[in-house]
């Protein structure tokens, strides 16, 4: 690990602050003893309640190991803050000179302080809603487990939508055995009850016969569709549907059921709390509604209301889903209106998200590949015409609109890079850091283009492992060389790219340390996935702090512990730059601070 010299654990002697603070008082002072006692009392109260504020709003964080992520000063002894800002970072005596006598002390008890973590692709509202509703959390369930889960979802009401049952977070391998789903949900007590199971990937689902009927999804309907859309409806044979749905077909089934009883506001609140508990204080919500939703954007409304109620304890940057095949003018106009309406304290509408393709896993296989899927001969589906994509991205870039592109297959990644390349060519001077997310397959010839074109790779490296997804649902169906190149994190780093960490929660866990652990080992339940692509600890910590802050256009404000930046920190229980590979994933958050205030404290949980 390149960090071993720079970031070696530096010893800090036991609490020096008391003796330092006491030097403020003259030993001749008759009230010395009284002062000492009251000072101790104040000190104790300050320690008991981390939120206790000095009247000046000044605090010194000390007696811990502080990793700043500022290459000029990677470690520090103390940090001073005033209100929501960092005012000094360095050794304790110099830090003390930047604040008044009455600054309160926050003892880090020898633990490890990092900048607040940044997740560059996180659907916080959807995740928050899932915490409050029936969600299988990406567990592959047996027939009995699924039956029990469904029964409970009905009993508790967590899965009830009108007369139907609605379950999210289904593991993709669940789709490989439709017979089980059939025997469970097309028999009593579900023969008349509409049931929708949604894949954790957001691109797949399964509907029982009652819901297909309700949604008007019949064999005749499917056969009336153009070829490309027909593939979104799974068929048992020419005359029968099997209930599997992907992409737009999911929307059609979903619309037949009433909307979630959990409001976006409740979802956002639950999402923010969950992410704060993981040390996360900023994220990009890449799909904060669709541009067609117009000015009544539910996700942005929820974030803005939360900010208004002073409950948005994080920076939320957003992109809104757009249609790159569609006309730019009305979509850009709407984006500008959304920016005027919603940009405010802690909320920023940065630009637009585009889907270049779908997912790689069997049976959906909508990711666009350079070599065909071996089972079908298909090259997957590029969801946007390359000519349109180039024109769309060039126009957006010219107008200062940030673009975030979903691309999983190597053909979709190439097309996305081509589009950003076209924008760079046409507009010459733009340095807007557009990003491509997921990047499961990247053509080796494209590695260099990320740095060259200033495109940020936004990767969910929790997925970069040998598990049922990669080994059972991908490996048998794609070219062996493509398979070996999955999630090329190290190759991109070597080619000079600025790697950004992301979770895609609630597609999978939002815990950054779980992803960091996999990125470092690539080890999963079914072995190691291409050990050549492992990424060092420090590179991953950078990916989840200063690098991700760049993607959010916030690196001047957050992402490192430096004077002038916002006082967002996470205190963790272990040396995340040095602990053994097997221990990093168990990292515990002691507390999280946002804008100088503790917003999560493990002691209170």
CB-nearer residue toward Zn ion: 59 or 171: 171
Question: Across the chain, which distance is largest between two alpha carbons, in Å?
Answer: 97
> What are the distances in angstroms from CA 243 to CA 101, 175, 208?
69, 10, 6
Query: CB 292: neighbour CB atoms within 10 A?
Result: 13
Distance CA 139, CA 401 (A): 38
**Angstrom distance (rounded) from CA 360 to CA 470:** 9
Which spans in 278-326 are helix H? 298-308
348/504 with CB nearer Zn ion = 504
> Half-sphere exposure (CA, 13 Å, Cβ side) for 241?
27
Least distance (Å) from Zn ion to the CB of residue 504? 4
Select 504 or 562, whichever has its Cβ closest to Zn ion: 504
Long-range contacts of 518-524 (CB under 8 A, 24+ apart): 518/461, 518/462, 518/463, 518/464, 518/465, 519/461, 519/464, 519/489, 520/581, 520/584, 521/581, 522/464, 522/465, 522/466, 523/465, 523/466, 524/465, 524/466, 524/467, 524/470
**Would you give the DSSP letter of residue 190?**
S
Task: Decide if 567 contacts 84 (C-beta within 8 A).
Answer: yes
**Nearest CA-CA partner of 533 in 602, 464, 455, 483:** 464
Output 241 or 359, the one with its CB closest to Zn ion. Answer: 359
- Distance (Å, rounded) from C-alpha 353 to C-alpha 420? 13
CB of 466 to Zn ion, least distance (A): 22
| Least separation in angstroms between CB 493 and Zn ion | 22
Total residues at the site for Zn ion (CB under 5 A)?
A: 1
Considering the complex, state which of residue 205 and residue 538 has its C-beta at the smaller distance from Zn ion.
205
Between the CA of residue 415 and those of 107, 231, 276, 355, 537, what are the distances in Å?
A: 51, 22, 36, 11, 31
- Shortest distance (Å) from residue 286 CB to Zn ion: 6
Q: Which residue has the tokens 């272990």?
A: 574
What is the DSSP code (8-state) at residue 84? T
Which one, 209 or 320, has the nearer CB to Zn ion?
320
How far is residue 396 from each of residues 10, 14, 271, 332, 554, measured CA to CA in Å? Answer: 47, 55, 30, 8, 20
C-beta nearest to Zn ion: residue: 504
Nearer to Zn ion, 119 or 504 (CB): 504
Q: Which is nearer to Zn ion, 408 or 593 (CB)?
A: 408
CB of 243 to Zn ion, least distance (A): 24
Nearer to Zn ion, 478 or 510 (CB): 510
Residues sharing a CB contact under 8 Å with residue 28, sequence separation 6 or more, in sequence order: none
d(CA 487, CA 313): 32
> Least CB distance from residue 297 to Zn ion, whole Å?
17
Segment 501 to 530, residues that bind Zn ion, using CB under 5 A: 504
Q: How far is the CB of 337 from Zn ion (least distance, A)?
A: 24
Q: With CB under 5 A as the contact rule, which of the stretches 13-21, 69-77, 232-240, 499-507 interacts with Zn ion?
A: 499-507
Interface mask (CB under 5 A) for Zn ion, residues 13-52, using x and -?
Answer: ----------------------------------------
Please tell me whether residue 480 adopts helix, strand or coil conformation.
helix
Q: Specify the residue, 58 or 504, whose C-beta has the smaller distance to Zn ion.
A: 504
Q: From the CB of 508, what's the least distance to Zn ion, in Å?
A: 10
Closer residue to Zn ion in complex, CB, 82/438: 438
Q: Which of residues 529-548 bind Zn ion (CB under 5 A)?
A: none
Q: In 375-499, at which residue ranges do the beta strands (DSSP E only) sit?
A: 402-407, 435-438, 456-459
- For Zn ion, which is the closer residue by CB, 407 or 554? 407
CA distance readout (Å), 218 to 175, 209, 213, 233, 248: 20, 10, 7, 10, 15
State how far the Cα of 250 lies from the Cα of 204, in Å rounded to an integer: 7
CB of 222 to Zn ion, least distance (A): 27
**Phi first, then psi: what are they for 344, rounded to 5°?**
-175, -155
Q: Measured from the CB of residue 502, what is the shortest distance to Zn ion in angstroms?
A: 8
Phi/psi at 411 (5° precision): -70, -35
Quick check: 110 and 573 in contact, CB under 8 A?
no
Segment near Zn ion (CB under 5 A); pick from 69-77, 193-201, 497-505, 579-587: 497-505
Shortest distance, position 527 Cβ to Zn ion, whole Å: 26
Contacts with Zn ion, 279-318, as mask; x by CB under 5 A: ----------------------------------------
Comparing CB distances to Zn ion, the nearer of 334 and 408 is 408
Nearest distance from residue 524's CB to Zn ion, in Å? 21
Whichever of 96 and 203 has its CB closer to Zn ion, that residue is 203
Residue 201 CB, shortest distance to Zn ion, in Å, is 9
Return the range that interacts with Zn ion (CB under 5 A); candidates 169-177, 252-260, 370-378, 500-508. Answer: 500-508
Least gap, CB of 503 to Zn ion (angstroms): 9
357 near Zn ion, judged by CB under 5 A: no
- Spatial separation of the C-alpha atoms in residues 551 and 457, rounded to whole Å: 9
- Mark 446-485 with x for binding to Zn ion (rule: CB under 5 A) and - for no binding: ----------------------------------------
Q: Restricting to residues 322-351, name those near Zn ion by CB under 5 A.
A: none
Q: Which residues bind Zn ion (CB under 5 A)?
A: 504
């Amino acid at each position: 690990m390149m960090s071993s010299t720079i970031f070696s654990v530096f010893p800090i002697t036991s609490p020096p602050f008391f003796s330092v603070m006491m030097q403020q008082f003259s030993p001749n002072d008759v009230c010395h003893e009284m002062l000492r006692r009251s000072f101790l009392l104040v000190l104790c109260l300050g320690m008991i309640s981390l939120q206790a504020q000095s009247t000046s709003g000044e605090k010194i964080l000390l007696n811990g190991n502080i990793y700043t992520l500022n290459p000029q000063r990677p470690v520090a002894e103390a940090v001073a803050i005033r209100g929501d800002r960092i005012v000094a970072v360095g050794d304790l005596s110099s830090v003390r000179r930047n604040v008044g006598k009455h600054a309160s002390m926050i003892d880090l008890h020898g633990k490890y302080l990092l900048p607040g973590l940044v997740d560059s692709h996180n659907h916080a509202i959807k995740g928050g809603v899932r915490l409050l509703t029936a969600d299988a959390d990406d567990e592959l369930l047996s027939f009995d487990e699924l039956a029990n889960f469904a029964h409970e979802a009905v009993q508790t009401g967590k899965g009830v939508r009108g007369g139907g049952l609605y379950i999210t977070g289904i593991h993709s391998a669940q789709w490989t055995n439709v017979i089980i789903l059939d025997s469970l949900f097309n028999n009593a007590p579900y023969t008349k009850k509409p049931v929708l199971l949604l894949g954790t990937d957001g691109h797949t689902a399964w509907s029982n016969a009652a819901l297909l009927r309700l949604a008007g999804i019949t064999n005749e309907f499917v056969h009336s569709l153009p070829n490309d859309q027909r593939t979104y409806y799974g068929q048992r044979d020419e005359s029968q549907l099997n209930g599997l749905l992907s992409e737009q077909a999911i929307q059609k089934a979903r619309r037949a059921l009433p909307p979630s009883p959990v409001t976006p506001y409740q979802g956002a609140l639950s999402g923010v709390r969950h992410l704060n508990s993981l040390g996360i204080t900023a994220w990009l919500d890449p799909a904060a509604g669709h541009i067609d939703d117009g000015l009544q954007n539910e996700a942005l409304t929820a974030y803005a209301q939360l900010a208004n109620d002073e409950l948005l304890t994080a920076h939320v940057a957003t992109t809104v889903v757009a249609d790159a095949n569609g006309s730019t003018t009305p979509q850009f106009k709407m984006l500008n209106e959304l920016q005027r309406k919603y940009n405010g304290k802690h909320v920023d509408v940065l630009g637009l998200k585009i889907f270049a393709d779908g997912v790689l896993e069997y049976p959906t296989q909508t990711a666009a590949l350079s070599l065909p899927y071996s089972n079908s001969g298909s090259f997957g589906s590029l969801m946007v015409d390359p000519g349109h994509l180039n024109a769309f991205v060039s126009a957006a870039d010219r107008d200062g609109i940030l673009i975030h592109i979903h691309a999983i297959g190597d053909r979709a990644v190439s097309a996305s890079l081509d589009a950003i390349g076209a924008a760079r060519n046409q507009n010459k001077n733009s340095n807007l850091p557009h990003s491509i997310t997921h990047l499961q397959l990247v053509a080796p010839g494209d590695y260099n283009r990320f740095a060259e074109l200033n495109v940020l790779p936004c990767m969910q490296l929790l997925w970069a492992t040998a598990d049922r997804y990669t080994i059972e649902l991908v490996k048998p169906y794609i070219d062996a060389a493509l398979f070996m190149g999955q999630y090329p994190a190290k190759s991109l780093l070597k080619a000079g790219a600025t790697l950004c960490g992301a979770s895609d929660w609630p597609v999978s866990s939002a815990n950054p340390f779980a992803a960091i652990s996999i990125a470092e080992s690539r080890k999963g339940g079914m072995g190691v996935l291409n050990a050549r692509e492992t990424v060092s600890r420090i590179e991953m910590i950078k990916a989840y702090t200063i690098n991700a802050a760049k993607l959010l256009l916030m690196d001047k404000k957050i992402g490192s512990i430096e004077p002038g930046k916002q006082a967002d920190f996470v205190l963790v229980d272990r040396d995340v730059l040095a602990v053994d590979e097997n221990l990093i994933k168990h990292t515990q958050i002691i507390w999280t601070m946002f804008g100088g205030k503790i917003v999560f404290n493990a002691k209170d949980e």
